[in-house]
Amino acid sequence: MRITGVRIIQPKTPGLGDLGIPWNPTVLRIDTDEGVYGIGEIGLPMGHAAHGQVGLARDYAPLVLGMDPFQTTAIWEKLYRHTFWALGGGMIIFGVISAIDNALWDLKGKALGAPVHQLLGGKTHDRLRAYASQIQFDWTTSLGAMVTPADYAEATRKALADGFDCVKVNPIGFDLDGRWMTWNTRGTLTRQQVRTAVERVAAVREAGGDELDIIVELHCHTDAGTAVQLGRELEQFRILYYEEATAPMNWNAMKEIGQRISIPIAAGERLYTRFGFRPYIEQQVVSVIQPDLGTCGGFTECRTICDMASTYDIGVQLHLIGSPISTAAALQMEAVLPNFVIHEHNNTSLLPANIGLCVNDYQPKDGWFEIPEAPGIGQDLTEEAYASADTITVN
């Protein structure tokens, strides 16, 4: 079996409403001379990377043509060591490498008639606990800006009604006018900012009760000082963990935050490869590591990262945002991991137009996911999505 072509597919997507956040999922499909194909999503759907990921995919796709798709390690090493810039890394580079790698594992599973979790060693979990992620955008089939404590309480109640016993919230992402990421949250937080964040988290706790687990996400809006300032105020709410409390390139800054507050630290969505995760794991900076299958290096590299974390008793919660392709892939990986903690179910997974891109709609029941047993990752774009997408074919 040989790789005969790579399709770079940008489906028509729902966008993120009027929130001003770019949304451009990109999918790679690897075709072979035996008619078997696999799909993988570049893990950069949100933010300003629409053209970059497509451009780099066009550069990398010719490198795998003619290769045996079962040689996933050899292909990974070729893309890493023989493209010059991958040795220095970068999110777009490893987003493309990840999508290629994930597509190859999907292809192998389809060719062998087995789900990817079987190829990775088999399940250690028959079902996966999930949490409702990013409730500051509400928890419904459309997204909006949650501003008042009452908004946060109502979003929490919606997640509880869907059976979740854990939610994630960014309490400083929206300012008091409902604008995303406009507050200056470095240097020092104003009393108004701290009070607003505390009141929002207090509303989540009150609405959810003592049994609800709460994850606080800061999207790297804060620096080490302001993360500590806010974290000390939030300790009273029994936060499960504190995510992306500062930018990840200086792991010492992240470690300082963990040493100065009593909330466990989580990070990883902006890191890639075992080399990027190494100091966070070896220095035990985090209690929970959060690689994204679509950016960390794909199934091949993610398994290495998660095994490294297990050596240091660090849990794994895969970062996840994107189309249902990313959801299906994450479920395959998480099912295998002994150190799995919880699955991130992003509110973009509730959007009908996003769901409609794919043939299967994997949703949790009462806050728990079943593991897909179809060959590969158990997912594909619909015929309509293929037909309407912007597609570049490299062959």
Tens of pLDDT, residue by residue over 18-55, are 677 888 999 999 999 999 999 999 999 998 999 999 99
The strand pair at 390-394 and 3-10 is best described as antiparallel
Percent of the chain surpassing pLDDT 70: 99
What band does 89 get if pLDDT is binned at 50, 70 and 90? confident
Q: Among 380, 362, 358, 360, which residue's Cα sits nearest to residue 13?
A: 358
Average pLDDT in the chain: 96
Q: Tell me what pLDDT residue 387 has.
A: 97
**Superfamily name with CATH number, domain 3-113+381-394:** Enolase-like, N-terminal domain (3.30.390.10)
For the domain made up of 119-370, give the CATH fold.
TIM Barrel (3.20.20)
Q: Tell me what pLDDT residue 16 has.
A: 65
306 pLDDT higher than 90: yes
Convert the pLDDT of each residue in 219-269 to its tens digit.
Answer: 999 999 999 999 999 999 999 999 999 999 999 999 999 999 999 999 999
| Cβ-contact 302, 76 below 8 angstroms | no
Convert the pLDDT of each residue in 117-148 to its tens digit.
Answer: 999 999 999 999 999 999 999 999 999 999 99
Q: Tell me what pLDDT residue 19 has.
A: 73
Can you tell me the distance from the alpha carbon of 137 to that of 160, in angstroms, rounded to the nearest whole number? Answer: 16
Domain range list for the chain: 3-113+381-394, 119-370
Can you tell me the distance from the alpha carbon of 152 to that of 303, in angstroms, rounded to the nearest whole number? Answer: 36
